[in-house]
Amino acid sequence: MQLCKWRDATGQARVGLVRQEMVYPLDLADTPEHPALSTILHAKNPSQFAESLLSSSASPLHIDELSLLPPIDHQEVWAAGVTFQRSEEARKRESHDAAIFYDKVYRAPRPELFFKAPAYRVIGPGGRVRIRKDSLWSVPEPELAVICDPDLRIVGYTIGNDMSARDIEGENPLYLPQAKIYDGSCALGPVITLAPAMPPLPQVQVILTIQRQGRTVFHGQTTMAQMRRTIEELISWLGRETTFPHGVVLLTGTGIVPPDDFTLEPDDLIHIEITGVGRLANIVERKS
């Protein structure tokens, strides 16, 4: 089962159940204390609860006609880094003096985990992700995003884009927060696939396509079988000393890095496709 969140004509955020590109509105109002999506995700059995909320009166809507919102309420977004060998190699090349740290973190029991975004800064499907004005080398990072409830139970999956300024990150590892955390640096969507409906992770493919003026300028793919760590391991480190009363979304790291001479440009179109979830599309912008 898949869920999505959209804004209706009155400006109200709504949650629906997605079946074959049709969205079936659910009868649950969004309130500040109990946002509808989280109320479903944090239920004992999210799929059963969502089914019980199917509206008997509202007609289904085609997903392409909706103004989709990022599928998140108040969860923090965190990210794991250097979980794929491709990422380790790229970081070592970009960072020269600090290469040893990436080598170590790839192999060490403790993973790299960093805060990525509060929910309000997350960009939704079709929205504009950003490259920084002070970066000359920026890339998207297509990542499987895991959605956890406050007990850190995995309740679903979506697609994440961990936009990154490689030149700022490579200049000095202490600049990592500036390379990773800024307006428009995180996108999620288009839907959440609830955990029981997700294919076995080793079979999950991640595909990144970047188009510029109608031409494909990068295409790459990987599978989750290439990830060095398990998702359970990452979540257990994340929850060691930190609680998440609103739940948490964890980006699990990139296994696709465009060649070192590639940088994003304004108006590039980024497509990230993940088996079992769908396709997230965003346009690139740089503020002048």
Binding residues for ligand DO4, rule: CB under 6 A, are: 79, 81-82, 87, 91, 112, 141, 162, 169, 253-254
87 binding partner (options Mg ion, ligand DO4, none; Cβ < 5 to 8 Å by kind): ligand DO4
75 binding partner (options Mg ion, ligand DO4, none; Cβ < 5 to 8 Å by kind): none
Q: Does 112 bind Mg ion (CB under 5 A)?
A: no
275 binding partner (options ligand DO4, Mg ion, none; Cβ < 5 to 8 Å by kind): none
Q: Does 162 bind Mg ion (CB under 5 A)?
A: yes
Candidates 10-18, 122-130, 137-145, 261-269 — which segment interacts with Mg ion by CB under 5 A?
Answer: 137-145
Nearer to Mg ion, 121 or 153 (CB): 121
Q: Report the amino acid identity of residue 277.
A: V
Q: Is 27 exposed, middle or buried (0-12, 13-18, 19+ CB in 10 A)?
A: middle
Shortest approach of ligand DO4 to residue 163 CB, angstroms?
10
DSSP-based three-state secondary structure for 103: helix
The upper half-sphere exposure of residue 124, i.e. CA atoms within 13 Å in the direction of its Cβ, equals 17
Q: Report the amino acid identity of residue 15.
A: V
Q: Which residue reads 């509206």 in tokens?
A: 55
Shortest approach of ligand DO4 to residue 254 CB, angstroms?
4
Q: How far apart are CA 230 and CA 219, in angstroms?
A: 26
Binder among 76, 141, 149, 268 for Mg ion (CB under 5 A):
141
DSSP-based three-state secondary structure for 64: helix
Sequence-ordered list of residues with C-beta below 8 angstroms from that of 54, at least 6 positions apart, any chain: 17, 24, 26, 27
Q: Does 254 bind Mg ion (CB under 5 A)?
A: yes
Nearer to ligand DO4, 27 or 167 (CB): 167
Shortest approach of ligand DO4 to residue 179 CB, angstroms?
8
DSSP-based three-state secondary structure for 50: helix
Which residue sits closest to Mg ion, CB atoms considered?
A: 162
Q: Does 47 bind Mg ion (CB under 5 A)?
A: no
DSSP string, 77-96: EEEEES-SHHHHHHHHHHHG
Residues at the contact surface with Mg ion, assessed by CB under 5 A? 141, 162, 254
